[in-house]
Amino acid sequence: MQIVQSDIVLGEVTQNIAMMLEGNAARYSNRTMYGEKHNGEYCHTTWAEFLHSVRNVASNLARYGYQPGSKVMVYSPNRLEMLILEMAVMASGGISVPIFAYFQKETVEILLNHSDCSFVAVAGELQLSRLPQHANIKHVFVFDHLETLPYPNCVLFSELLADHGSEPGALLTDAPADDICLNMYTSGTMGVPKCVQLTHRNILSQQAALQHVWHLNEDDRLLAYLPWHHSFGGIFERFSALYNGAALMLESSYGKDPGQIMENWKQVKPSCFFSVPKVYQSLIELTRGDKEAEQLFFHSGLKFVFTAAASLPETLSVEFEKRNIPVLEGWGLTETSPCCTITDPTLKREKGIVGKPIPGVSIGIADDGEICVKGPNVMVGYYKNDDANEKAFTADGWYCTGDVGELTPAGLKLVSRKDRIFKLANGEKVIPSDLEMLIQSKCSYIAYAVIVGGGKEYPVALLFPNRNELSQPTGAVASTEGCKCPRSINELGNCLHTCLRQTNYSLLQKFAKIKFAMVIDDELSIERNTLTPSLKFAPNKIQEAYKAHIENLYGSKNSISEEVYIVNLTADNPFVPETT
């Protein structure tokens, strides 16, 4: 096995989350640690106020039967109450179990049965309506101030916040570093998702390592929308603010409305921004041809932007780099808390390179190319899943990530997910992520490109349009070279023929060339499980949801409800409309 690790010694790591909160509240008492928008303006919470609330909640939880080791499911979008509750649980010996805020009732029931949670916290009426009655739930805490509560075991969160005189020692500053404090469900898997068990050491060792890479402090402001039930937002971004005393300012549209993000950007003036490529693309498009928006977005106080889930296309990263704003990229998984590598902000970015190991972490490349990890950031294991644990770790303790990569002088190079590399009928291997990135880099009107073809004679592509850009007035969106600013699925299909021909032409292996592509007038979404919380597409779910579409690309005549068009790259007539 090839192995590489950081030359930097990790050093001392804060023992637990209670110590982190107590220490920062003492250091930054009256400084803003959190902001949330109400009636168009940001309301701020100081470190002293936050710690007071966390202590009250931790103390009052005990009145309802909560004790160290208790598991609390949190079923809510990002908000102050969620932050207070999760920190109170983790800092008092409990285990927080956050889940997606808009899961349907059936999914919530599956997770409740699997998680063994005794308590549940919900945002409001919507989540209450989807919460099944469960014998093991002692109490349900409700963040919204509802006039009536549907069940006798419901408690308003304001009761937990009440100042009854918090018990001394409600926060366990002596909790062992290896105590589990967070159980986080992974995304993109079939059946019951895997539940990753993370400790204080897992989470805080990563932040200690990142201090050697960047220099966040109490003067920094993060405009945050990434969901806290997912590792990128809930661990990486959120604890980057909490650990370093920076202000975590909630983005009120949750990353869904570029116009609102820009308005919030104007009020917050973030010094750091953590996001996924799709959102960067939408924001940069708003600045094109608008000098005021350009100056606002690329303001002088922006220290760096961070991208994860997918590489930031060069057409976008260059916009930051030409203004001397570093673009940082990292790699990791929920199982590794999540960051394992990060790029050097002083070096020019290279395609596919996700950086070098952070201090304390070792990266190994197995004989079959799989990336393996060792370090204090690696999970304890999956909850109630012995089979998965046995497969996840080697006999000598390496965690097998399922990603394939290469070690280069510039850092770790990602190749693909191991389970996404497929063989065609002739035995040739295809790496779909290469094709997908090529297509998306050539046409900004495509939100997602999904390549399939395992066991078939040739690969095909499912293409999902960027509806926001298609709906813009003609000329409002900067066109890709050779693109004719399509306003409809029909026009987009015609336009894509050139992009796809160029993609095929750039491939060295003839067998990997796409023969047919289907433009589907539909949106991938987290709610339908076709997108992960970090807005990556979920290949297995997509192949399941669009099975009929894929079969049609191989000659079947299935009935399809959406408007679709097939781009034929094997014939003179490139564009074949399908029935709606």
CATH number for the domain spanning 132: value is 3.40.50.980
Structure tokens at 96: 């927080």
Which range (190-199, 270-279, 287-296, 352-361) has the least confidence? Answer: 190-199
Alpha helices per DSSP H over 173-301: 200-210, 231, 238-244, 258-268, 277-287, 291-297
**CA–CA separation, 550 and 553 (whole Å):** 5
pLDDT at 333 over 60: yes
Report the 10 Å Cβ neighbour count for 505: 8
Single-letter amino acid, residue 115: S
The pLDDT, as a whole number, for residue 573 is 43
| pLDDT single digits (tens) 61-75 | 999 999 999 999 999
Report the 10 Å Cβ neighbour count for 321: 14
* Contact present, 407 and 375 (Cβ < 8 Å): no
The pLDDT, as a whole number, for residue 156 is 98
Residue 472's pLDDT band (cuts 50, 70, 90): low
Structure tokens at 524: 């991938």
Structure tokens at 15: 């023992």
* Contact present, 196 and 222 (Cβ < 8 Å): no
Query: For the purposes of burial, counting CB atoms within 10 Å of the CB of 300, is it exposed (0-12), middle (13-18) or buried (19 or more)?
Result: exposed
* Contact present, 157 and 60 (Cβ < 8 Å): no
pLDDT at 190 over 70: no
pLDDT at 209 over 90: yes
How many structural domains is the chain composed of?
2
CA 315, 319, 324, 327 dihedral sign is negative
Of 140, 175, 210, at which residue does a domain stop?
175
Is 220 within the bounds of a domain? no
**CA–CA separation, 504 and 512 (whole Å):** 8
Single-letter amino acid, residue 278: K
Residue 312 CA, chain-centre distance (Å), reads: 14
Residue 485's pLDDT band (cuts 50, 70, 90): low
| pLDDT single digits (tens) 106-162 | 999 999 999 999 999 999 999 999 999 887 899 999 999 999 998 899 999 999 999
The pLDDT, as a whole number, for residue 481 is 52
Q: Tell me what the mean pLDDT of segment 363-384 comes to.
A: 97
Beta bridge partners of 141: 121, 155
Is 251 within the bounds of a domain? no
The pLDDT, as a whole number, for residue 548 is 93
pLDDT at 188 over 60: no
The pLDDT, as a whole number, for residue 341 is 97
**510 vs 382, which has greater pLDDT?**
382
**CA–CA separation, 95 and 506 (whole Å):** 50
Of 115, 150, 175, at which residue does a domain stop?
175
CATH code, domain carrying 546: 3.30.300.30
Is 521 within the bounds of a domain? yes
The pLDDT, as a whole number, for residue 493 is 75
DSSP class per residue in 338-369: SEEEE--TTS---TTB--EEPTT-EEEE-TTS
Q: At 121, is the secondary structure helix, strand, or coil?
A: strand
Residues 6+ apart with CB under 8 A from 39: none
| pLDDT single digits (tens) 217-251 | 999 999 999 999 999 999 999 999 999 999 999 99
Is 506 within the bounds of a domain? yes
* Contact present, 101 and 127 (Cβ < 8 Å): yes
Is 123 within the bounds of a domain? yes
Distance in angstroms between the alpha carbons of the first and the last residue of the chain: 52
Angle between helices 80-90 and 17-27 (to 10 degrees): 120
Residue 572's pLDDT band (cuts 50, 70, 90): very low
DSSP class per residue in 467-497: HHHHTSPTTSSPPPTT-----SHHHHHHHHH
Is 347 within the bounds of a domain? no
The pLDDT, as a whole number, for residue 580 is 37
Q: Tell me what the mean pLDDT of segment 322-351 comes to.
A: 93
* Contact present, 207 and 177 (Cβ < 8 Å): no
Q: For residue 308, which of 369, 250, 237, 358 has the smallest C-alpha distance? A: 237
Q: Which domain holds residue 445?
A: 421-577
Structure tokens at 92: 């008092």
Structure tokens at 485: 């600013």
**CA–CA separation, 559 and 431 (whole Å):** 30
pLDDT at 261 over 80: yes
For residue 77, CA distances in Å to 82, 126, 415, 495 come to 8, 11, 33, 38
Average model confidence (pLDDT) across the chain: 90
Question: Taking the C-alpha atoms of 97, 101, 102 and 104 in order, what is their torsion angle to the nearest 10 degrees?
Answer: 20
Report the 10 Å Cβ neighbour count for 473: 8
**CA–CA separation, 458 and 199 (whole Å):** 45
The pLDDT, as a whole number, for residue 528 is 86
Residue 526's pLDDT band (cuts 50, 70, 90): confident
- pTM score of the predicted model: 0.85
Cis check for the bond before 338: say yes or no (omega within 30 of 0). yes
For residue 299, CA distances in Å to 70, 205, 269, 320, 350 come to 45, 32, 8, 11, 25
Of 175, 192, 227, at which residue does a domain stop?
175
pLDDT at 577 over 80: no
Is 99 within the bounds of a domain? yes
Q: Read off the DSSP letter of residue 510.
A: G
Is 58 within the bounds of a domain? yes
Residues 6+ apart with CB under 8 A from 89: 58, 61, 70, 72, 95, 96, 181
The pLDDT, as a whole number, for residue 421 is 82
